């Protein structure tokens, strides 16, 4: 008997499709290339701490239906993302808000902060002489001024993209949020948190009672002839690989992690600390226990686990993380999406198959919507 769906990839998109399909009485088989389920939200348990193996994942959304859906599966905690930026040893709150401006200039009122920013923006516009910003650096200077750009944007962005801000297109940074209030909550969304006990619990609930096979590559297995196994295919891998790169390869940025166990209960006092000077090779340090332990509970675990993140150019064999949204790649991705639209009984979903950056909640929303 055939399955109703063969699902390639067990990340949030594939796992949510499997859950919704199972609710409708459909039979699904999930095959996963890695040796674990959950895609990039998979966590390792190290010293009793849930470590986000593929980088920090913070659930946030304004979509009440999605929030209620995930909370119906697992309980979420009260984690609020409030990153800190370290520039040459001085700390600044993110996103840019009154705390940031006080730390940078000593101003204490929104009017004072606004005046400084507007003065620096005017300087940048005068330097342009009436022309449009030609690159990311010029664009950022016209949005927030030189001080914020030099200390909190320039080095971090150049490490992320592996090239100077003057060589990056202006459209990457058309908007930079500036808050004239003392608010360190990074997200504007109404709902935010981390699953109590880690993301593996969420994945386990989504894939409960679904047939799953790990360590199985769709392209080198018998499942490549998917019509023999299922009526429909749900594909969450790289879209260009599905079509055997016939139009060319899409570019990605990737991330390398250095994870270390430290013999201290509290290393940096925050889950996320960005290092914004270019001379420091990593972009940020994640201290994982702060996602799930708060206040004095942090000290109930005598050790901590940190991960340093290094942005890098993608090469074959690496994990693709971020699409490169330049003119070439956007046009190529559109061409592949056209091919995908012609594939009968195939659903392409998720960041790899759609070649776009996705937060977790929109991935779940799309997965809930595609299973009719």
* Residue in 20, 34, 53, 284 annotated catalytic: 284
Task: Name the DSSP letter for residue 268.
Answer: S
Cα–Cα distance between 37 and 41 in angstroms, integer? 9
- In 3D space, the residue among 138, 112, 172, 188 whose CA is nearest the CA of residue 322 turns out to be 172
> Strand runs (DSSP E) across the chain, as ranges?
3-8, 28-31, 43-46, 49-52, 59-61, 84-87, 90-93, 191-193, 211-213, 230-235, 252-262, 272-275, 284-287, 304-313, 322-323, 346-348
The position carrying tokens 């200390």 is 151
Active-site annotation holds for 309: yes
* Residue in 151, 179, 232, 351 annotated catalytic: 179
* Residue in 309, 354, 355, 358 annotated catalytic: 309
* Residue in 126, 175, 315, 342 annotated catalytic: 175
Residues comprising the chain, all counted = 372
Active-site annotation holds for 246: no
Q: How many CB atoms lie within 10 A of CB 278?
A: 14
Question: Measuring CA to CA, how many Å separate 166 from each of 139, 158, 161, 310?
Answer: 10, 9, 12, 21
* Residue in 27, 146, 205, 253 annotated catalytic: 253
Angle between helices 136-144 and 110-128 in degrees, nearest 10? 140
Active-site annotation holds for 253: yes
> Which residues are known to be catalytic?
175, 179, 253, 284, 309, 357, 359
């Amino acid at each position: 008997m055939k399955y109703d769906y063969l699902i390639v990839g067990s990340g949030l998109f594939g796992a949510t499709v499997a859950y919704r399909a199972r609710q409708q009485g459909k039979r699904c088989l999930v095959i996963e290339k890695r040796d674990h389920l959950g895609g990039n939200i998979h966590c390792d348990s190290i010293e009793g701490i849930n470590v986000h193996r593929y980088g920090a994942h913070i659930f946030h959304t304004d979509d009440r239906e999605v929030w209620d859906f995930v909370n119906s599966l697992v309980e979420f905690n009260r984690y609020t993302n409030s990153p800190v930026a370290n520039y040459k040893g001085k700390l600044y709150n993110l996103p840019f808000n009154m705390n940031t401006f006080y730390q940078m200039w000593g101003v204490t009122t929104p009017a004072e902060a606004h005046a400084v920013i507007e003065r620096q923006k005017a300087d940048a516009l005068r330097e342009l002489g009436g022309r449009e910003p030609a690159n990311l650096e010029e664009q950022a200077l016209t949005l927030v001024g030189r001080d914020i750009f030099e200390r909190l944007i320039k080095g971090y962005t150049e490490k992320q993209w592996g090239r100077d801000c003057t060589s990056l297109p202006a459209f990457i940074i058309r908007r930079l949020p500036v808050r004239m209030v003392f608010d360190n909550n990074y997200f504007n969304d109404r709902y935010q948190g981390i699953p109590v006990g880690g993301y593996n619990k969420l994945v386990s609930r989504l894939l409960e009672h679904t047939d799953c096979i790990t360590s199985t590559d769709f392209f080198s297995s018998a499942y490549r002839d998917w019509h023999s196994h299922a009526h429909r295919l749900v594909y969450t891998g790289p879209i260009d690989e599905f079509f055997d790169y016939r139009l060319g390869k899409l570019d990605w940025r990737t991330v390398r992690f250095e994870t270390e166990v430290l013999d201290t209960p509290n290393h940096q006092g925050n889950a996320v600390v960005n290092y914004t000077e270019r001379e420091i090779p990593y972009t940020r340090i994640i201290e994982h226990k702060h996602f799930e332990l708060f206040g004095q509970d942090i000290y109930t675990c005598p050790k901590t686990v940190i991960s340093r993140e290094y942005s890098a150019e993608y090469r074959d064999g690496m994990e693709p993380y971020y699409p490169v949204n330049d003119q070439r790649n956007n046009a190529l991705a559109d061409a592949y999406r056209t091919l995908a639209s012609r594939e009968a009984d195939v659903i392409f979903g998720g960041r790899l198959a759609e070649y776009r950056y996705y937060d977790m909640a929109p991935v779940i929303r799309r997965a809930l919507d595609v299973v009719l």
